[in-house]
Amino acid sequence: MGTRYENPALTVDPVWIDRGRILLVRRARPPFRGMWALPGGFVEQRETVEAAVVRELFEETGLRARPWKLVGVYSGPDRDPRKPTTTVAFLMRGRAGRPRGGDDAAEAEWVLLRRALPLAFDHQRIVHDAVRLLRSLRKRRSRGGPGGSPRSHGRSRRHGPSSGPR
CATH number for the domain harbouring residue 21: 3.90.79.10
Is 159 among the domain residues?
no
User: What is the rounded radius of gyration, in angstroms, for the C-alpha atoms of the chain?
Assistant: 20
Name the pairing type of β-strands 9-15 and 41-42. Answer: antiparallel
Which one has a higher pLDDT value, 103 or 151? 103
- Give residue-wise pLDDT tens across range 30-52: 999 999 999 999 999 999 999 99
0.75 exceeded by the pTM? yes
Which residue segment(s) compose the domain that 126 sits in?
Answer: 9-145
Is 160 among the domain residues?
no
Residues contacting residue 89 through CB under 8 Å, at least 6 positions apart: 12, 13, 14, 15, 38, 40, 70, 71, 72, 73, 74, 126, 129, 130
Is 42 among the domain residues?
yes
Q: How many residues are listed for the chain in this entry?
A: 166
Over residues 105-125, the mean pLDDT reads: 94
56 is annotated as an active-site residue:
no
CA distances from 139 to 18, 134, 135, 136, 146 (A): 17, 9, 6, 5, 10
Is 46 among the domain residues?
yes
Give me the chain's average pLDDT, please. 87
pLDDT at 110 over 60: yes
Residue 38 host element (H or E) = none
Q: What phi, psi does 162 have (nearest 5°)?
A: -85, -15
Is 157 among the domain residues?
no
Catalytic hit among 47, 59, 107, 109: 107
Please tell me the distance from the alpha carbon of residue 32 to that of residue 43, in angstroms, as a whole number.
20
CA distances from 122 to 3, 107, 135 (A): 32, 20, 21
Over residues 1-5, the mean pLDDT reads: 79
Total structural domains within the chain: 1
